[in-house]
Amino acid sequence: MELFIPGGEIPLPPAPKPVSRYSSSPSYSAPVNPGVVVPSGTFINPLSNCPGYVYIRGYAPWHGGVDLAKPGGCWINAAGNGRVIRAGWGYAGEGFHVVIDHGGGIWTRYYHGTRQFGVSTGDSVSAGQSILYMGCTGYCTGTHLHFEVVLNGVRVNPEAYVRVR
Ligand SMILES: [Zn+2]
């Protein structure tokens, strides 16, 4: 039943507070480890089996991983023990790529491979196992591996956890 009150006025609810996922700081601040402990020895170099590769680009605010290149490519190995949660094509520039879940909120990602995969989604992998052949698919201008370490969804500097140069 509706009630009509002549001259009546319903107060407006207060405006919701804006929600931001970002810091109010206007300047960029590098992502910090979101509380994930990475035990030492968790990772090995993903190019342990690729002598002669070249470190071409490091981690930066605009670049969430490290780039390691070798003309002609080579096999990329799993940086640690875990489970493959993605082995396929990525539509956001990844090209053919692999994502490994190492447990505890720790992932590694390997981008721009050829279509030669050593693993499939769902496989368990051991550190050092060949997972993907380096290529230049997706957003890529020269054959290289783009390698990321992701902690609870945050891309961090891989060089804080594994020696690649
Ligand atoms: Zn890169």
Q: List all residues 6 or more positions away from 114 whose beta carbon is below 8 Å from its beta carbon.
A: 73, 96, 132, 133, 134, 135, 137
DSSP string over 26-58: SS-------S----TTS---TTTT-TT-EEEE-
Which residue, 25, 128, 131, 11, is CA-closest to 79? 128
- Cα angle vertex 151, ends 91, 77, to 5°? 65
Which residues pair with residue 111 across a beta bridge? 146
The 3-state secondary structure of 60-108 reads: ECCECCEEEECCCCCEEECCCCEEEEEEEEECCCCEEEEEEECCCCEEE
CATH code for position 59: 2.70.70.10
Determine the distance separating the centroid of ligand 1 and the alpha carbon of 115, expressed in angstroms: 18
pTM beyond cutoff 0.85: no
Determine the distance separating the centroid of ligand 1 and the alpha carbon of 22, expressed in angstroms: 24
Determine the distance separating the centroid of ligand 1 and the alpha carbon of 101, expressed in angstroms: 20
**pLDDT confidence of residue 23:** 42
25 within domain boundaries: no
Q: How confident is the model at residue 3 (pLDDT cuts 50, 70, 90)?
A: low
CB atoms within 10 A of CB 127: 19
- Mean pLDDT, rounded, of the chain: 88
21 within domain boundaries: no
pLDDT digits (tens, 9 = 90+) for 27-71: 445 566 678 989 999 999 999 999 999 999 999 989 999 999 999
101 within domain boundaries: yes
38 within domain boundaries: no
SS3 state at 159: helix
Determine the distance separating the centroid of ligand 1 and the alpha carbon of 3, expressed in angstroms: 64
**How many domains are contained in the chain?**
1
Determine the distance separating the centroid of ligand 1 and the alpha carbon of 150, expressed in angstroms: 14
74 within domain boundaries: yes
Which residues pair with residue 110 across a beta bridge? 98, 147
**pLDDT confidence of residue 19:** 47
42 within domain boundaries: no
112 within domain boundaries: yes
Q: How confident is the model at residue 21 (pLDDT cuts 50, 70, 90)?
A: very low
146 within domain boundaries: yes
Q: How many CA atoms lie within 13 A of 44 on its CB side?
A: 15
Phi, psi at residue 164, to the nearest 5°? -125, 5
Segments forming the whole domain that contains residue 80: 54-160
